[in-house]
Structure 1
Amino acid sequence: MSNLSYHCKWRIELAKQICEKVKIIEGVKAIVIGGSVARGYADEYSDLEIPIFWDKLPNENTRKLIVKELNAEYFYPYNYEANEDNVILQKNIFLILLALNKLYFPTFKWMYKSLETFKIKPENIEQRFRDIFTYPPKEAYENTLVIIMETLDIINEVYPELNTSVILSKLKSDRIPHDNPVNIWV
């Protein structure tokens, strides 16, 4: 740890403090540090990614307990409508469609061009993906959600033995937005 930057070190120490509070919550199986901090690349602009692995998906009460234990608040509402999130969703859908089409990963740089060649995909997805960035945030979110639902339908058609009900229930659940930024320690 001695050769890590100052920005990595203090984020790792904060992650340890957070992990101490979260690891006691029922159902937590593992907690890791991810992203640039885990790779030793963190700078002053880096966030702190702490994926939590569960024996089953946490319910709303468990999520509220975590927020309470950390003396935190939700930074983003669950249905955050940012373009950055749409890019992440598009990349994830792209990876799913690659798998469904049994194709190798060509890099994200060629995502739209590659989508044109896919046999298994939502109709006109390459143009719909591009169009999303021209819509107001709420409309972009709604259109992205439609593409996700269409992709899940395709998964169910191609692999009916897969259970996508957990994903569907998450997508259809109403969430309470929290407008204030994270404040871990007071």
Structure 2
Amino acid sequence: MHYASQWRADIASSIAPLIARNPHVGAIMIGGSTSRDRADSFSDIEIGVFWSRSPREEERLAPIEPAGGVFWELDPYDPEADTWMEEWGLNNLKMDIRNMTIDGVEQQLSRVLNNYETDLFLQQTLSAILHGIPLHGHDQLKRWQERLVHYPAELSEAMVRHYSGEELREWCWWVDQLLTRGDIPLVYHSFNDAIFQVISMLMGLNQIYHPGFKWLRYSLSELHILPSHLGERIDEVYTRHPRDGLKMIRSIVLETYDLIAEHLPQLGKEIDQARSNFLHQRQQFEQPPSLPFSLSPSQESAS
């Protein structure tokens, strides 16, 4: 582990026993860039805390003073993410604490591993657990990580189906329209959307729990199946003229579809349809189309 990650891990290891004083804490881990040995000068320290029951506010705050920290923020329970989050500082270094119940993690594991749900937040949570460094409750975290080692083939197909579909329908036509009208901010927004869909498809194809979109160069380095020179091409999209960017993303998406058809041939018909939807161009009209009725003179002049 390199220096920036190691000293953050050391701080987390010193704080963990203070959190573990509570008997309802079943496991603690280091997450984020530190656990993956990617920390840099921008990195905070992410700690995952797993409880046998829902934590109370005073329990979440209890470790701050003994650790010499300063309270910053206490978020209420987020039912969609099934988490409680708080932030506090150690001489301005942010401690990002994410709390879940053990039962909550079990349910999320089941939703992804058994029901093959593709929700990005669920994927990120499981990715964090898989790469987490145990600080307390090692056996519990080991059991979760052992379950996550096997990535279901059904989940791979579900990810590809979900991210190859509606979000990219008529994408080429849409971006051509935006470029023609000069809506450049929306052009780059659409570039982002397409690239994120490609990355998500590739995560499923490569059977990797989606870690999110930060640290993209590291995520791409873990992929074995991907369009050639993908990272360099993505960078170039944002440095070339937007028209060139459109052409480059078009090629990237089509190459991704080809890879899916090659490695998941059972999805061949669905990928053919996704490709057709992606390339579909709506008809443009300079003059009124043929109509089953006649336009009035005022309507003709208005047109």
Q: TM-score, normalised by structure 2?
A: 0.32
The letter for the 1-side match of 2:275 is L
Match of 1:181 in 2: none
Contact kept in structure 2, 1:132 and 1:144, CA below 8 Å: yes
The answer on whether the counterparts of 1:91 and 1:108 sit within 8 Å (CA) in structure 2 is yes
**Match in the other structure for 2:174:** 78
Please give the alpha-carbon distance, in whole angstroms, between the structure 1 residues aligned to 2:195 and 2:228.
15
Give distance in 2, aligned partners of 1:109 and 1:120: 20
Does the aligned pair in 2 maintain the 1:98–1:105 contact within 8 Å?
Answer: yes
Q: Secondary structure at the match of 2:265?
A: coil
Q: Residue 273 of structure 2: which of 149, 161, 166 is its match?
A: 166
CA distance in 2, matches of 1:103, 1:150: 19
Extract unaligned runs of 5+ from structure 1: 1-56, 58-76, 179-186
**Max Rg structure:** 2
1:1-186 → structure 2 map (5 Å cutoff): 78-79=174-175, 80-81=178-179, 82-162=187-267, 163=269, 164-176=271-283
Cα distance in 1 for residues equivalent to 2:280 and 2:206: 30
Cα distance in 2 for partners of 1:177, 1:111 equals: 37
Identity of aligned pairs, percent? Answer: 24
Q: How many residues align?
A: 103
Structure 2's unaligned 5+ residue stretches are 1-165, 167-172, 180-186, 286-303
Distance 1:128 1:142 in 2: 11
The one-letter amino acid paired with 1:112 is R
User: How far, CA to CA, are the matches of 1:113 and 1:83 in structure 2?
Assistant: 23
**Structure 2 residue matching 1:108: 3-state secondary structure:** coil
Correspondence for 2:122: none
Structure whose residues are more often strand by fraction: 2
